[in-house]
Every structure is written in structure tokens, then in C-alpha cells.
Chain A
């Protein structure tokens, strides 16, 4: 693929001000400690606006913990978290999602008893705060159109009135991502999107993510190296809670430390 792409700029190479302005989310000296065990120990980590970034690493490296911290599910023990250049300290999950972070979990997490349409309907922004609007209000034509558009994109139009529990694994993944996209977040945290998908579905997922790139910042956690290569994005390697290397896939694969720790000889 010939992509005229910018060289990967690591956070260390920027000034602090530069980091605050160019990164959408920026972690500074962040540690997370569980009962004496240091799950995360990051000096500098940042994701640019509208960047597609992949985070890889062996099991237990802290990838999900990092997502937990960014999405507000886990408190950081030490350090600072910046969002759009502002120190937001410890914010909980509801607030983070309202600020524009969408999170897709490792195991697809949708509402099983509701239909595909109803699932997406719930994800429409600006409805969440008002109790009564949920009681009386109906979905506008505009919103409905948006929903149908998304369903089209992920090939779920036929399943519109089917309860989500009957969907296949891959379909659930797609549904979950569409729910996130509908909320128009600034940052998407996608935890193992390719897990358990067939080849076709994997290709579909990769295309979807590539489409979304440029409209949202996306952080993808993955193990499937082919998938990662297909995404053709900046890669951050985590190991034992620390960042081991950052760069594009070719640089990473050439890095002997990474190879030893993770990719294998």
C-alpha cells in the first residue's frame, strides 16, 4: 500500500506544550497499582487527534488497564491524565463517555434483550441526561436515518428487529462499534476487535476501522499481527506495564527487544 504517511513522532520528541496541544489524550507519569502489584507504569503516552493507533503486548502487559484508565473505569494511582490538553484528574466512566470516549470491550457488550435497532437507539447522544425525555420522547426521523445508515455500513439492516442475543459474535462486535460511532466520540477504545471473527468478518472490521480513521481517534488493542499490519498505523508496544517501543510496524518488528519479549524469533 502506498501511503504517503507522516513519520511517527514519539512523545519524547515533542516539547511539553507540544504534547499538550497535539495529543487528544495524554498520559504523564501514570502508574496504576493493584494491591502492591504495579499494573501500569507509563512515562509518556499520547494519541494524536484523529489518529489510528494500535497497542500490542503480551498478556498482562497492561493494555486493558491503560484503556480502563483512559475511559475512567480505573483510577490512576499516580500521574496525570490530559484530555484536549486539560488535566482531568480522576473522572469516572459516565463523565468520560460524555466527554467523548467510547469503549468497546473485549467480550462484545451489547444489550441482549433489545433489538439491533433499539440498541443503536440508546446510543444516540444527547438523550442520556433527561429522565422524562426518555419517557415521552420519540426518535426523530433524522436520528432514525443515522441509525439505518450505520446498520447498513455494518451489514446489519436485515437484523434490525432481531434481538441482539441472536447475533453472531462478529455481528455483535460490529453492533458494539456502531453504537460507539453513533455517539460521535472523539476517541474510540477498541479492545480486540478481531477476536473470534472469521476471515471475511476480520476484513470487514479492518475496513470499518480504516474508514473511521480521520473522523475519530482510535486506539486498537490487538494480538492478531496480520490485522495489525492491515491497519497500517502507529504501534505502541507495552510490556509489564511499561512502554517498550513505539513506531510503525516495520520499526517495531525490527526492534530486537520487542522480538524477544513478544514476537518471538
Chain B
């Protein structure tokens, strides 16, 4: 027992070390204040109003002026203009949101420049927003001729947006466009922006644009290449490769490029490997989460639950129902609390289903593992069909907002929040199960029932209750897994089928009934899968994993942590 715990602890600390960010540029997207426009707002407002002018030339001049205004919000207004979502109403430029239930006939208004909602003249507490009929609004749309200028302006103005994430995107995009015209704007961003990440990417974009500009001075280009090498810029990689292949590239430039490429590739190589490891951990944690419930039921009761995948699916659909109940939808109406509630509700719903299964069916098949396999498969079939009839074949579950996107732990190494959350969830679940089984009275009763049913019964343990509890608990864990899986995958009636074989393999490889075994096997198989995937294709990778497990079972037929002694004859 102690040795297993030690193994477990080592694994967790390894994981922690891996998550520790490298000192090289720890950059998290922090909210910073914006680059204030150097022009006063009233002037901007006046120019913006010119978009409503009927004269095309006036509009064009306005657009040009606005492009140089360096006010971020102007970009939003212009984007609305491009999409036809800008309106002229009572001498003001506004954007509009439809009132719910009115079928877009009635709308509430926001100021186009400031984004502030427009209130009624005599605002009441209940209903402060001004509601206007669509017919009263005059829609403004950018004409075909104006569109390129507007798009251009939006791009440039994004550099001055309030949200650093938007600026970051803009900076990257301008570099990718390979249009040298933007170099000046980008350099200004380098000098004046307050967010380190934005500055970094801006510098990268500038260097990229300088490098590919064949008209530029050679020393400038060499300097750019060198800088890109030091930055280990991933974006520069293909560009530099192209340059090296091009015969016309100057020799001195070529040397610098080669050096930079080497730097880039070594860094990106490390990032790539870390990426695989993280994917492996992520996949491993998913496998563990799924296999945990299964291992408990199988290990503690000797029952094979082929409906485990379907229980997971029910957890996912429960999450959907909770989402609908809360009215959460992205991106319009996020109600993020639904997710925590969904976790809890999924657990209890699937636990109930599991309890029902146990009482009606599994209880009567105690000691006959192959029969339980068949009976539970039958239950699974029915569950799939029930869900399919009720919900159809595909529904959408949206993640809560705080799980969208990711954190750039260090340069180019992104860790998506949803996968991090699942890893965290797995750790919590495993710890909980371990503590429950080994450090609580409930767990003790459970283990007693499993190890020697008759004696436990004579000691007053209600073995039937324990069985029900175990099965329900295992089912509940499946429900949590299902809830977690909605974050990373589609929700369909037969999603369970995709995971059931993998879960079994994890349980079988890890050793029946051993939590530590499940953890090791899950992580191992996950990482192995992700390492094999890029080497061979996804499918061959999977085939190899299956072959590996088959081979592994030859070598250790009872798994990584086999049950020893008299119990081994199950």
C-alpha cells in the first residue's frame, strides 16, 4: 500500500514540475489599459457621423481619417459598418440588439462609438432601455468600393483596442499579411503598448516584414533574421526556409538565416515534445476519469459494466439539460454557474441510474462476470436508443466562458483551459476515491464486503447496500466524466461507445481493482498514444496501442498492479 502511494505521489509531483512555467518569458494575458487615442473624442464622433452622409467622397475621406485616428473603438464601429449593423437614428450613430421574443422587430440601442446603451428620456427602474422599432432605424452599410478601405482601417484600429487579446491578434495578423505598409504602425505599437505579449508579437511581426522585404537593406534584413532566431519565432520558420531555398538569397543573409533556423527549430522541437506530453497527459486524464468508475465497479465487485459508456453519455446529456435550464448559450448569454451545478447533477443522476441498474439486474448476476457483461450491454443499447429518440443525433453543449481559450505558459506553448480543467478534475476525483476507499468508514465497509462477503454480513454489514452504493458511486463517476467530456468533444447518443473499449483496456492494463494501476495505465496509454500519433497516423497509432496492450497482457496477465494471493483467482 505504501509503495503504491509513493508511486502515486511521484506521478503527481512529476505532473506539477511539468506544469511549472519556464522562466523564459512567462507571459499571461493580463488586462491592461488601452492605448489612448491622441485625438479627442468629439472630433472622432463628428467624423464618424460622416459615414451617414450620402456623398461617397465624404464618406471615403472620413474612413481615411478614421483609419488614422488610433482610437480602438472606432474599429468596432467600422466593423459594424462593414457588416451592415450600423444604424443612423435621430442624428446619432448606433448599433442595435434585438429584444428577446420580438423577432428582431424591436431593438435596444447602443452608442456606436462608446458602446453605452441608450436609455429612455424618463427612465423607469424596470425598463430603462430605450426600445425602438426596426422600421425607425436607417441601416448603414459599407458599399463595395468602400469595403477594402474599411477592412484595412479595422485592421489597423484593432491595434488600439482596449482588450489586449484583440491587440495581440491584430499584431499577429498584420505580420502574417506580409504587407510592409504596416511596419510603421507596428513599430509604434512596439514602443507604446503596455502589454508585454503584444510588444513581443509586434516585434516579431516587424522583423518578419523586414526580412521578407527584398528591397530593404541587407543589414536590416540580417538583423531581422537574427532577432527572429533569438525569439525562436515559429512564424518565421517557413519564411526562413523559403529564403534558404531561394537561390538568389545573398550569402551573408543565408548564414544568418541558417543560424536562426537552427535556433528556431531547437526551441520549437522542445515545445512540440512538451505539447505531445501535455496532450498525452490530457488524454490520459480523460482515460483515467472514464476508467475510474469502471475500475471501482469491476475491481470491487467483479462486475463488468458494458453500459459504463452510456452512463457517461447520460452525464453529458444531463449537462445539456442543466445548460438549457440555466439558459446558458454562447456567445450571447453566458451563465457560467451552470457548469458547477451540472457536475453535481450529473453525478447524482447517473448514480441513480446506476442504482436502478444494480437493483434490477446486476444484483441477480453476482459472481457471473460474463453474464453481467451481456446484460449491461443490453441496458446500454436501450439507453442509447432512449436518448436518440428523445434528443436526436446531435446536440450542442457550450463550455462556460472561463474555460474557453487557454494560457500561453511560455512562448508558443499553449495550454487550453478546458483540458487543464479536466486534468484538475481527474486529480480531484482520484484523490477523492482514494480517500473514500482507504480513509473512511464507508470505504472500509465497502472493502470488507468485497473481500469476504459472508464474514462481513455476519458482522452486520448490509452487503446489499454496499453493492448498491459501489455501483451507484462508480456510475456517478462516469457521469462526472461525461460532464467533463462535454468540454472537449461532441455530444452524441453513441459517444459512450468510443470510450468503452479504451476504458476497459486501461482497467485491464492497470490491474483489476487498483486505483494506482488505473492512474498509471491511463497516463501511460495516453502519453504513448500521443507520442505514436505523430509518428504514425492517428489510426495506426491506435492500432499500435491496442497491440501494445495485448502484448502487455501476455507479459503481465493481471495488469500493472495485480491482486495477489488467494484473491488472484478471480
Considering only residues 540-570 of chain B, those with a C-beta below 8 Å from chain A are: 564-565
List the count of A-B residue pairs having beta carbons below 8 Å apart: 4
Give Cα A34 to B563, complex, Å: 11
A35 contacts chain B at the CB level, 8 A cutoff: yes
Nearest B residue to A37, CB-CB? B565
| For the complex of A and B, 4 pairs with smallest distance between CB atoms | A35-B564, A34-B565, A34-B564, A35-B565
Q: In angstroms, how far is the closest chain B Cβ from the Cβ of A261?
A: 23
Considering only residues 39-90 of chain B, those with a C-beta below 8 Å from chain A are: none
Nearest B residue to A74, CB-CB? B565
Nearest B residue to A36, CB-CB? B3
Give Cα A35 to B566, complex, Å: 12
Q: In angstroms, how far is the closest chain A Cβ from the Cβ of B172?
A: 57
**Hey, which chain A residues are within 8 Å of B564, CB to CB?**
34-35
Name A residues whose Cβ lies closer than 8 Å to a Cβ of B.
Answer: 34-35
Name B residues whose Cβ lies closer than 8 Å to a Cβ of A.
Answer: 564-565
**Hey, which chain B residues are within 8 Å of A35, CB to CB?**
564-565
Q: In angstroms, how far is the closest chain A Cβ from the Cβ of B399?
A: 45
Pairs A–B under 8 Å by Cβ, sample size 4: A34-B564, A34-B565, A35-B564, A35-B565
Give Cα A35 to B564, complex, Å: 8
Q: In angstroms, how far is the closest chain B Cβ from the Cβ of A104?
A: 17
Q: In angstroms, how far is the closest chain B Cβ from the Cβ of A188?
A: 23
**Hey, which chain A residues are within 8 Å of B565, CB to CB?**
34-35
Q: In angstroms, how far is the closest chain A Cβ from the Cβ of B526?
A: 28
Give Cα A35 to B565, complex, Å: 9
**Hey, which chain B residues are within 8 Å of A34, CB to CB?**
564-565
Q: In angstroms, how far is the closest chain B Cβ from the Cβ of A141?
A: 39
Q: In angstroms, how far is the closest chain B Cβ from the Cβ of A253?
A: 31
Give Cα A34 to B564, complex, Å: 8
Give Cα A34 to B565, complex, Å: 7
Q: In angstroms, how far is the closest chain A Cβ from the Cβ of B123?
A: 76
Q: In angstroms, how far is the closest chain A Cβ from the Cβ of B484?
A: 35
Give Cα A127 to B564, complex, Å: 33
Give Cα A79 to B136, complex, Å: 99
Give Cα A34 to B566, complex, Å: 10
Q: In angstroms, how far is the closest chain A Cβ from the Cβ of B228?
A: 58
Q: In angstroms, how far is the closest chain A Cβ from the Cβ of B387?
A: 42
Nearest B residue to A35, CB-CB? B564
Give Cα A137 to B564, complex, Å: 40
Give Cα A249 to B328, complex, Å: 83
Nearest A residue to B2, CB-CB? A36
Q: In angstroms, how far is the closest chain B Cβ from the Cβ of A156?
A: 28
Nearest A residue to B564, CB-CB? A35
Give Cα A93 to B564, complex, Å: 18
Give Cα A35 to B4, complex, Å: 12
Give Cα A34 to B567, complex, Å: 12
Give Cα A69 to B564, complex, Å: 16
Q: In angstroms, how far is the closest chain B Cβ from the Cβ of A242?
A: 19
Give Cα A217 to B564, complex, Å: 31
Q: In angstroms, how far is the closest chain B Cβ from the Cβ of A60?
A: 11
Q: In angstroms, how far is the closest chain B Cβ from the Cβ of A120?
A: 25
